[in-house]
Structure 1
Amino acid sequence: MNTHLSGTPQTPFEHEIAERLVDVLQLEIAPDEIDPVAPLFVEGLGLDSIDALEVALMVSRAYGVTLSSDDPNSREIFSSLRALASHVTVMRPAG
C-alpha cells in the first residue's frame, strides 16, 4: 500500500485514480502524495470547478461512471480521493 506523508494509506484503487488525477490535471505532485482523506477542492489539492469537469470526464472514460454536477451527492463524491474511489467502485459497470 502507498502511504501519504500524513500516514493515511491509499488503497490500490485509490492509487490508480490518484495516478490518473495527476496525469489528467497535470498536477505537480506524485500520486503517492495525495492524501486519500484530504479534500480535493479548495484546501487539500486545491482543485476548482474546471478540474471537476476534467475529473468527471476522466472517470467517465476510464471507468464508465457518469458524474453529473446536478447530482445531489456530487459534493460528497468529490470530497476526497477516498470518496471518489468508493463512488466509482460502487457505480462502475460490471465486466
Structure 2
Amino acid sequence: MEKLHNEIKTLIIHVLNLEDITPNEIETEAPLFGDGLGLDSIDALELGLAIKNQYSIVLSAESDETKKAFYSVKTLANFISSQQ
C-alpha cells in the first residue's frame, strides 16, 4: 500500500504543479483540503480526472463515498484499491 501512497503523492504534485513540495512532505493521513495540504475544489476536479485516467476507475462527484475518499492520501489509496 505504501507504493500506492507514493504514487498518489507524486500524482498530486505533478497534476497540481506543486513543484516546491516532495512526496515525503505530504502526510499520508493529513487532510488534502482546508487546513491540511490546502487544496481547493478546482484541485479536486483536476486530481479526480487524473486519478480516473491513471487508475481507470469511475468517480462520481455526488457520491458520498467519493467525497470521503478524497479526505487524505490514505483514504484515496483505500478507495482506489477497492475499485480495482
TM-score between both structures, scaled by the size of structure 1: 0.82
TM-score between both structures, scaled by the size of structure 2: 0.92
| Unaligned stretches of 5+ residues in structure 2 | none
Q: Percent identity, aligned pairs only?
A: 39
Which residue, 11, 16, 21 being the options, matches 2:12? Answer: 21
Report the equivalent of 1:80: 72
Give the secondary structure class of the aligned counterpart of 1:73. Answer: helix
How many Å apart are 1:76 and its aligned residue? 1.2
Aligned residues: 83
1:53-92 alignment runs, 5 A limit: 53-92=45-84
- Greater share of strand: 1
How many Å apart are 1:50 and its aligned residue? 0.4
Q: Distance in 2 between matches of 1:32 and 1:17?
A: 12
How many Å apart are 1:75 and its aligned residue? 2.7
Give the secondary structure class of the aligned counterpart of 1:43. Answer: coil
- Greater share of helix: 2
Runs of 4+ in 1 over 3 A off after TM superposition: none
Which structure is richer in relative contact order (CA contacts within 8 A, separation 6 or more)? 2
RMSD value, Cα? 1.2
